[in-house]
Every structure is written in C-alpha cells, then in structure tokens.
A and B are shown apart, each in its own frame.
Chain A
Amino acid sequence: DAGVIQSPRHEVTEMGQEVTLRCKPISGHNSLFWYRQTMMRGLELLIYFNNNVPIDDSGMPEDRFSAKMPNASFSTLKIQPSEPRDSAVYFCASRETGINYGYTFGSGTRLTVV
C-alpha cells in the first residue's frame, strides 16, 4: 500500500487566497483525521470523519476552515481566505474504525501564507 497520500507537499500562497489541501487515505481505512502542527501548539486535531461523515469538527479554528470527504478515497481541507497565522504543517491520518487500531499519517503539507 502506498500509505496516506497528501498533496501538495508544499504550498506558498498570498494572504486572502483560497487554499485546498488534499488527502487520499489507505484503502479500507474508514476513519480520516486532519491535524495541524505548529511550533507553539504542537499537533492539534482539526476534524475527523468516520465512513465519510464528519464526526467532530470542534478543532477547526475558524469558519474560514472547511473539510469535506466526498468518498472513501478522498478528502479536502480548504482555507478561505487564508491568513499568515494559518502557516503550519497540515497532516492527514487514517485508520480502520475500532478502538484497537493505530493511526497512519501522511507526509504532510507545509503551508506558508505570506
């Protein structure tokens, strides 16, 4: 398996622009998670899906952030409009549903908003 695939690896954008991050989970994994990593706050859970349905989005910082999972093999995290404080590394992770399965992370997208 190719693992969790994220794109792009790096994104540099100007303040105010829309940014879309993409994630393909491991086939057969029914749960998908979006995390954000910054030096100050470490890794924070933004939102997660079970069977393509958003379960908990309490970690989404503002209404500027939105996430979708139209099917079992694809998810997007969108920021509109982007701000410099959104600069961070965004990780996607997936796992099989159930309490005894571990998480597999993608390589992340490093977002820089200038």
Chain B
Amino acid sequence: KQEVTQIPAALSVPEGENLVLNCSFTDSAIYNLQWFRQDPGKGLTSLLLIQSSQREQTSGRLNASLDKSSGRSTLYIAASQPGDSATYLCAGQGGGADGLTFGKGTHLIIQP
C-alpha cells in the first residue's frame, strides 16, 4: 500500500526566500505525482503534475521534481510571497490503484 510522507509539517519563512518542500513515497511503482495547494476552508488547486515518464515540471515560480528510484519528490518555490501561504499537498498515483494517495501536507506561512 502506497504511503506518502511530507516534511516539514509546517514551515514559516520571511518573504523573498527560496524554499523546498519534501515528499517521499514508499512504492516506487508510481505513475504520476501531483502537487496541490489548499487554502483554509477551500478545495484543492492543482499546481503541477509530473507524469510517469517525466522528471520535473515548472510553472512560474514553482518547480517540482520526481525521483522514483529514491521515492522522493520536491516542490521548489522561488522568491516566496505572502500569497503563497497555504497548505501544500503531495499525492501519488501508483501501485495499481487508480486513486491518489495523499501526504498530510506542509502548512506554509510566508511572513511579510
């Protein structure tokens, strides 16, 4: 059964810093990995999807990488802004199951 772990659980940094959020998964037979953002009381917004044949994806200030051999993915946020404050969730699809398995998320606060 796929298990996804996110570290750190919470992070608070000053505005302008570059930061890295980490995600690890137990089953290397992962198809896709998707990063989401969740604002308080809101739904999930997809940020980046790394498909099975890819190693990274970029969107604006965000870059996500996937290393199946080590069972890890990272989300890099450049030049952080207060508007980036949210919970970031990593989710993997693999192991034969069609649904996503989520980590518990990283609660990010960017201080103005």
Contacts and interface: CB of A to CB of B under 8 A. Distances in A.
Interface of A: 31, 33, 42-43, 45, 48, 50, 55-56, 59, 91, 93, 99-100, 102-108, 110
A56 B100 CA distance: 13
B43 A99 contact: no
3 tightest Cβ-Cβ pairs between the two chains A and B: A102-B49, A45-B99, A43-B102
B43 A107 contact: yes
Contacts of B52: 99-100
Contacts, number: 54
Most B-side CB within 10 Å, residue of A45, A103, A106, A107: A103
A55 B98 CA distance: 9
Given A42-B104, A45-B99, 15 more contacts: A31-B98, A42-B102, A43-B100, A48-B99, A56-B98, A91-B44, A99-B31, A99-B32, A99-B52, A100-B52, A102-B46, A103-B46, A105-B36, A105-B45, A108-B43
A56 B105 contact: no
Interface residues of B, number: 25
B12 to A, nearest CB: 19
Contacts of B49: 102
A105 B102 contact: no
